[in-house]
Amino acid sequence: MPVKKITTPLTDATVKDLKAGDSVLITGIIYTGRDSAHKRLVETLQKGEKLPVDLKGQIIYYVGPAPAKPGYPIGPAGPTTSERMDPYTPTLLAYGMKGMIGKGNRSTEVIEALKKYTGVYFAAVGGAAALIAKRIKKCETVAYEDLGPEAIMKLEVFDFPVVVVNDCYGNDLYEEGMKKYRQI
């Protein structure tokens, strides 16, 4: 299967080249964020204030890693369910965030926002956390440290394996993949 290699931050041209079903390897900086961090990011934007990290062109990875063993940059770090971030996502895409990594279906609003603002939603393999952590070279908390495992971290990743689920053309791998193999 052909694999596309991309680097962050993402440009519109890179996003437009990605299609639902593509296997992709990401290299560069990505940021972590989940429920509480999203709430704060969106509240900050709504107040017209500056974000603690500039998310323009960036990818947010929905993850709450396990603690790192001594000698490891990070603990096991697989994706968490994305739909919990759906209410906040269109605001972040409108701001200029380009991509997200998680698992599971997104809302119609998110899929529409990906088309409108040229964004992409990737899935990483849920439960393959030990394997995924091997592709994370460095990890540093950069905002909301008080949130503990929900703080925003900056990750340096190398050939981080994901699959495109929702592209900027409105395609959805979950819908299409299931239709292709459905027998009932």
Partner 1 sequence: MAKEIPYQKVVDTVAKLCIDANCLIGDDIINAFKNGLKIEESPTGKEILNQLIENAEIAKREMIPACQDTGFAVVFLELGSGVKITGGELFDAINAGVAKGYKEGYLRKSIVADPLRRKNTGDNTPAVIHTEIVPGDNLKITVAPKGGGSENMSEVKMLTPAAGAEGIKNFVVDRVLRSKANPCPPIIVGVGIGGTFEKVCYLAKKALLREIGSVHPDPFYAEMEKDLLERINKTGIGPQGFGGRVTALAVFIETYPCHIASMPCAVNINCHAARHKTAIL
Binding site for partner 1 (CB under 8 A): 1, 21, 23, 63-69, 72, 75-78, 80-81, 83, 103-105, 123, 125-131, 133-134, 148-149, 161, 163, 173-174, 176-184
- Tell me the closest approach of the beta carbon of residue 96 to partner 1, in angstroms: 27
Nearer to partner 1, 11 or 80 (CB): 80
Min separation Cβ 43 and partner 1, Å: 17
**Least distance between partner 1 and beta carbon 36 (Å):** 9
Smaller CB separation from partner 1, 86 or 95: 86
Q: In angstroms, what is the minimal distance from the CB of 95 to partner 1?
A: 26
Rounded Cα distance, 22 and 3, in Å = 7
- Nearer of residues 59 and 74 to partner 1, judged by Cβ: 74
d(CA 173, CA 22): 9
Q: Which C-beta is closer to partner 1: that of 9 or that of 34?
A: 34
Give the nearest distance from C-beta 60 to partner 1 in angstroms. Answer: 16
Q: In this structure, are residues 23 and 3 in contact, taking their beta carbons and an 8 Å threshold?
A: yes
Nearer to partner 1, 115 or 134 (CB): 134
Q: How many CB atoms lie within 10 A of CB 89?
A: 26
